Structure 1
Amino acid sequence: MSQTLPYVLVLFYSRHGATAKMARLIAEGVERTGLEARVRTIPEVSPETRASSPPVPASGPVYCTEDDLRNCSALILGSPTRFGNMAAPLKYFIDGTSSLWLAGTLADKPAAVFTSTASLHGGQESTLLSMQLPLLHHGMLLVGLPYTNPELTETRGGGTPYGASHHAGTDGARALDPQESALCRALGQRVAALTRQLHAGAAHVES
């Protein structure tokens, strides 16, 4: 576990803003537990897979650094769906975390995922499941949404037991509905609550 004050890293890529809105709701859920939610994003990539964005975004969260990832106590990862998978910029970023994998830096830390799609059946679940694979390789502890959240059975939009999701519509204009919003906050709150329990347990063992 990190020696810094515990924080949950909410790391996302967003093309048209829907995933960014989800990240803010998830951060609200984290902060309801008293933990810090550190919201970060990642740059675009060019066809040559080099960063094509300025060093600092013009607005919104700053770009994630390796230290942000190294020192987090938990990670919540978000991306829009691209052909049933995470978007290329996020995959490119994760592919650059080999040094953390070799050191086992993220092992035993809670992790969760979230996504947004243009169509209701546009690959939400496959995207969430594929995003979990590198987190398993890092040895992270996957956190989903249990059916004790009634919104999972009430939703007519996004929302899965594998993580929070949102149906943004083909023009990206569909706002998060009450069930989608509640599940975003629930995911953040659940990850943060488990993180607090793990830190409390570690502190008890050390004492």
Structure 2
Amino acid sequence: MTQSPYVLVLFYSRHGSVAEMAKHIARGINKINGIEAKVRQVPEVSDTTKIASPALPDAGAPYCTLEELADCAGLAIGSPSYFGSMAAPLKHFIDQTSTLWLTGRLIDKPACGFTSASTMHGGQEQCIHSMMTPLLHHGMVWLGLPYKNKELINTTAGGTPYGASHLANSTNETALTDDEKALCEAQGKRIAEMAITLQK
């Protein structure tokens, strides 16, 4: 049985904001016929970079495998902004993808990023850049979020042309604004459409 093409929505979320964004990005992907969202997370790592989580998560999306990344038609990758960079668990996962780089499994597939921070200038755009860099090394095609999405102009919270973002008023603030939800869904739709286009 042939598997349907999918966009992998891959993320790390400590307090829930990025996980909430992932749901809305998946919703946007699933609005496009001929492709579906596959939502996956990465496990925690210890301060010695060994996996510190059980083999299966207690809640939420399953953990991602390298095979799921290799077989995706597109990738939406998300992380909280930690000092303007992606979180260590997501970086740890990406650092294990050298076999995919050697075999070119991700070349010409679209990718986009999303993030959350608890301050307005908490490094959201720089965090997205930190996720973009290794994916460019993989030969992926990076997609931003164009200003045809009017919420980018109107938002008083998250939202960047580099990718969707969320401004959490506290570390436990997971509720997205209407503009942030709309931008997440727009990003999901855009990467789904591009994944279909690039498969032709």
Q: Distance in 2 between matches of 1:51 and 1:92?
A: 9
**Structure 2 residue ranges without an equivalent (≥5):** none
Per-residue Cα deviation, 1:66-121 (whole angstroms, up to 9, x for no partner): 11101000000000010110000000110010000011100000000000001111
Residue of structure 2 equivalent to 1:111: 111
Does 2:132 correspond to 1:128? no
- Indicate the RMSD between aligned Cα atoms, in angstroms: 1.0
Q: Normalised by the size of structure 1, how large is the TM-score?
A: 0.93
Q: Which of structures 1 and 2 has the larger relative contact order (alpha carbons within 8 angstroms, sep 6+)? A: 2
Q: Distance in 2 between matches of 1:92 and 1:131?
A: 12
The answer to whether the 8 Å contact 2:12/2:41 transfers is yes
The alignment status of 1:53 with 2:40, answered yes or no, reads no
Shift, 1:47, TM fit: 1.0
Q: Is the 8 A contact 1:113 1:164 kept in 2?
A: yes
Q: Please tell me the residue identity of whatever aligns with 1:107.
A: I
Scaled by the length of structure 2, what TM-score is found? 0.96
Moved over 3 A (4+): none
Show the counterpart of 1:158. Answer: 158
The Cα offsets for residues 22-53 of structure 1, whole Å up to 9 and x where unpaired, read as: 00000000000022100000100001100010
TM superposition shift of 1:153: 0.3
Partner letter of residue 166 of structure 1? H
What does the per-residue CA deviation read over 1:146-205, in whole Å, with 9 as the maximum and x for residues that have no partner?
A: 110000000000100000000012233252101111000000000001111222x2xxxx
Contact 2:112 2:143 in 1 (8 A): yes
Whichever residue aligns with residue 53 of structure 1, its letter is S
Task: For 2:147 and 2:171, locate their aligned partners in 1 and report how far apart those are by CA, in whole Å.
Answer: 30
Cα distance in 2 for partners of 1:153, 1:40 equals: 30
**Correspondence for 2:9:** 10
State how many pairs are aligned: 198
For residue 24 of structure 1, give the secondary structure of its aligned residue in structure 2: helix
In structure 2, the partner of 1:31 is 30
On the 8 A contact 1:27/1:185 being kept in 2, the answer is: yes
SS of the residue aligned with 2:77?
A: strand
Mapped to 2, the partners of 1:196 and 1:98 lie a distance apart of 25
- 1:1-207, aligned counterparts within 5 Å? 4-34=3-33, 35-173=35-173, 175-199=175-199, 201=200
- Aligned partner letter, 1:176: L
Question: Using the alignment, how far apart are the partners of 1:19 and 1:7 within structure 2?
Answer: 20
Contact 1:10 1:40 (C-alpha < 8 Å) held by counterparts: yes
Counterpart Cα distance in 1 of 2:169 and 2:12: 18
Q: Percent identity?
A: 55
Distance change (3 Å), C-alpha of 1:95 and 1:150: same
Answer yes or no: is the 8 Å Cα contact 1:84–1:124 preserved in 2.
yes
Inter-partner Cα distance in structure 2 for 1:171 and 1:110: 30
